[in-house]
Amino acid sequence: MSDSPARATIRRLLRHRLFVTGLALFLIVLVLAALAPWITTVDPTKLSIRAKFKPPSMDFVFGTDNLGRSLWSRTVWGARLSVEIGVAVVVLNAIFGTLVGAISGYFRWADAPLMRINDALMAFPAILLAIGITAVLGPSTENVILALAVVYIPRTARIVRASVLVLREMEYVQAAVAAGAGHARILRTHVIPNALAPLIVQLSFLFAYAVLTEATLSFLGLGAVPPTPTWGNIMAEGRQYMIEAPWIITIPGVLLMITVMGLNLLGDGLRDVLDPRLRLQA
């Protein structure tokens, strides 16, 4: 009996056509990322000048680039990096976004200072701030994750704060206060669990933004350093040859699109099922 609400939610999700489509699209990318070491036989950085600019064929499923590197290997390893970065940014947001949002929404004294800092960070255009941070720290995977976390945590914190502001006034919270529960316990057992639905919805969209922004940064030359393949830097390198070898930019571009669309559909579905109040906010 106790697991029936969870089961009911899952059943409703699986009946949601868009959610299932999104899940399927995202799973394609997740499977590629997870199996990268086993489904690629060629080193993604291995040069082979004789095999350069090969269009997709039986030998090279996705073709080769200007240096004869296998695009199958490169995009699959790129998928792995995108997923790793997405997961890292989502986890950092889940932890710090919840922390900042919960403290700000729950303790009145903390609200104004924390939200002013939040407002200032959100005032920067997302990509410009991310570029500024990676420029200062130097281009690397870790720094991209850090930059994306700094850019997106304020946005997550806002959403958590909004739910906590409402939950704080609930009768069961007042009852817990009256029963002598401490702030930490109230937050942990009564407030945060009830703020999870909008957070989960936000995190699925955030995963999409993180993957997209990472690709943009590495397209501009500010992501992981080549020869490490990322979808963004594969496209940046392929840009010079996009007329003769359009597959170099098209394959990672389409995979990027599949990932982002899958996560957006997933987020829409989660929002419809978990948090119907939010449906009107599109």
Partner 1 sequence: MGRLLLLRLAGAVPVLLLVSVVSFGLMRLIPGDPSAAIAGLSATPRMVAQIREQLGLDQPLLTQALHWYGGLLQGDLGRSILLGQSVFWSTMQRLPVTMALSAYALAITLVVGIGAGVLAALRQNTWVDQAAMMVAMLGISVPNFFLGLLFIIWFAVGLGWLPTGGYIAFTDSPWGWFQTSTMPAVSLALLNIGLLARITRSTMLEVLRQDYVRTARAKGLPRHLVVGKHALANAMIPITTVVGIIVSLLVSGSVVTETLFSIPGIGQLLTSAVLGRDYPMVQGGLLLVTALLVLVNLGVDMLYAVLDPRIRYER
Nearer to partner 1, 8 or 242 (CB): 242
Helix/strand/coil for 145: helix
By CB under 8 A, what part of segment 127-166 binds partner 1? 127-129, 131-138
Count of residues of this chain found to bind partner 1 when the rule CB under 8 A is applied: 46
CA 140 to chain centre: 17
- The smaller minimum CB distance to partner 1, of residues 71 and 260, is found at 260
Beta carbon of residue 38, minimum distance to partner 1 (angstroms, whole number) = 28
Nearest-approach distance from CB 157 to partner 1, in angstroms: 15
Closer Cβ to partner 1, 56 or 132, answer by number:
132
- Alpha-carbon distance of 244 to 162, in angstroms, equals 51
Decide whether 13 or 220 has the Cβ nearer to partner 1.
220
**How crowded is residue 268: how many other Cβ atoms within 10 Å of its Cβ?**
20
| The one among 220, 225, 227, 272 contacting partner 1 by CB under 8 A | 220
What is the rounded distance in angstroms from the CA atom of residue 244 to the CA atom of residue 64? Answer: 12
Any contact of residue 36 with partner 1 (CB under 8 A)?
A: no
Give the interface segment with partner 1, choosing from 7-15, 38-46, 99-107, 249-257 (CB under 8 A): 249-257
Decide if residue 27 touches partner 1 (CB under 8 A).
Answer: no
Binder among 144, 153, 199, 222 for partner 1 (CB under 8 A): 222
Q: Which helix (H) or strand (E) holds 19?
A: helix 17-39
| Chain residues 178-217 in contact with partner 1, contact rule CB under 8 A | 208, 212, 215-216
Closest approach of partner 1 to the CB of residue 221, in Å? 6
Cβ 269 vs Cβ 16: under 8 Å: yes
Query: At a CB cut-off of 8 Å and minimum separation 6, what does 214 contact?
Result: 82, 85, 86, 144, 148, 223, 230, 232
Of the residues 94, 265, 266, 270, which one makes contact with partner 1 according to CB under 8 A: 265
3-state secondary structure of 52: coil
| 182 vs 221 by CB, closer to partner 1 | 221
Which of these, 225, 259, 219, lies nearest to 238 by C-alpha position?
219
Least distance from partner 1 to the Cβ atom of residue 213, Å? 9
171 phi-psi bin (left φ>0, alpha ψ -120 to 50, beta other)? alpha
- Nearer residue to partner 1 within complex by CB, 51 or 222: 222
Of 66-95, which residues contact partner 1 (CB under 8 A)? none
- Tokens representing 145 are 């994750």
Q: 195-234: buried (b, 16+ CB within 10 Å) or exposed (e) per residue?
A: bbbbbebbbbbbbbbbbbbbbbbbbeebbbeeebbbbbbb
Which positions lie near partner 1, rule CB under 8 A?
A: 116-117, 119-121, 123-129, 131-138, 208, 212, 215-216, 219-222, 235, 239, 242-243, 246, 249-250, 253, 256-257, 260-261, 264-265, 279-282
